[in-house]
Structure 1
Amino acid sequence: MAKDFYTAVQERRSIYAISNEQPVSNDRIQEVVEFAVKYAPTAFNSQSGRVIVLFGEQHEKLWDLTKETLREIVPAKDFGPTEEKMGSFKAGSGTVLFFEDEEVVRGLQEQFPTYSDKFPEYSLQSSGMLQYIVWTALEQEGLGATLQHYQPLIDEKVRNEWNVPASWKLHAQMPFGKPVAPAGDKEFQPLSERVKVYK
């Protein structure tokens, strides 16, 4: 039985310990992602979000590529933790790559010059909402995920490997898989310091 919305929001966490087992099929994950892309809100109905979903060997290739990119930057004596982290992402069953189509953003800047400087900001807000919908939906399907940011270090290699259009700008990577260990405890700041209500 699917979790209700509030439970899914509450239980969506950064899950780093994942395996390549899946409680649902690749087709179901594709369906979830496509639903999120279709219905995620965007400023001016720009629909600027773009996504690539990698499964299996393609997913593993991404994290091997990222590891080798980082190997060129991180000193060898310090590389152990980085290699371990890349291995934890690779251990999952797939990755969602989130992009924004900058051609769409530029088109809106030209069409609505009054808001020109705001459209990149609106684009980031839309991308964040899309990422959150996918993340929470994966949680509802019994999958654990994290949100990673290895751009712009891997942008060119990702573009070449998966034939990414030049106007698509990479914003985040979301490895997912079956959770094999829970997230740690999370502390919350007092809501009284974060929310103001006037009646």
Structure 2
Amino acid sequence: MSNGFLEAVKKRRSYYGISKQSPLSDDQIVSLIQDAVKYTPASFNSQSARALVLLGQQHDQLWDLTKETLRKIVPAEHFGATEGKMDAFKSGYGTVLFFEDNAVIEGLQKQFADYAENFPKWSLQSSGMVQYVVWTLLESEGFGASLQHYNPLIDDQVKSKWGVPASWQLIAQLPFGKPTSEPGDKEFQPIEERVKVHK
């Protein structure tokens, strides 16, 4: 069985060693992310996924902002490791910030009251798919990336600095760049314990 999508799925990993080099132009990066957001499915076709793409100095400023936020809450004796992580993310080419638009979700809750409690859950499922599609597509084009979660610590600052609408809820951050090192081997649990089949 030959399947390019499956190969991309198998090759996607978390890359923590990334550089400011890019195998794509900025316009190509933006187009890829736009397509991922546009074509990834969502419950009730809600299209609640939102993304903020930060490149160049804007990307650097995000990780400087995050580092200074963490400096206020991480004990000084442990901050060295935290600072190293922030500098590693900053060494990349760009970051995609993933959001869900709560205004869309609340509108669906009012429109379909019988399903109201499910829409926030379905929203997160949709967001996870968008994150995975963007991550896999970037890596299939020669980037390395890793998914990070510094929300809600940086939410207010991100909204203020980049003019993000109040209804957008920050879900995750994906720093990316050309890989400078390969991830280690990944161990897998026996697949028979995770996938059951009845015929």
Structures share fold, TM-score greater than 0.5: yes
Aligned to 2:147: 147
Alignment partners' CA distance in 2, 1:32 and 1:99: 17
User: Do structure 1's residue 198 and structure 2's residue 191 form an aligned pair?
Assistant: no
Amino acid at match of 1:43: S
SS at match of 1:83: helix
Give, in whole Å, the separation in 2 of the partners of 1:191 and 1:114: 37
Residue identity matched to 2:134 = V
- What's the CA shift for 1:6? 1.5
The SS at the match of 1:34 is helix
Matches within 5 A, 1:59-138: 59-138=59-138
Runs of 4+ in 1 over 6 A off after TM superposition: none
Structure 1 regions of 5+ residues with no counterpart? none
Partner of 2:47: 47
Residue type of the alignment partner of 1:90: K
Hey, what's the Cα distance between the residues in 1 that align with 2:168 and 2:176? 22
Any idea what SS the aligned residue of 2:185 has? coil
SS of aligned partner of 1:151: coil
Distance 1:26 1:6 in 2: 26
Q: Measure the CA separation in 1 of the matches of 2:152 and 2:50.
A: 17
Identity %: 62
Aligned residue number for residue 9 of structure 1: 9
Q: Structure 1 residue 74: deviation in Å?
A: 0.3
Specify the SS of the correspondent of 1:189.
coil
Deviation string 1:62-102 (CA, Å, 9 cap, x unpaired) is 00000000000001111000000000000000000000000
Q: TM-score, normalised by structure 2?
A: 0.98
Aligned to 2:170: 170
Please tell me the root mean square deviation across aligned C-alpha atoms, in Å: 0.8
Would you say how many aligned residue pairs link Structure 1 and Structure 2?
A: 197
Q: Note the 1:20-39 alignment, pairs <5 A.
A: 20-39=20-39
Could you tell me how far apart the structure 2 residues matched to 1:42 and 1:49 are?
Answer: 8
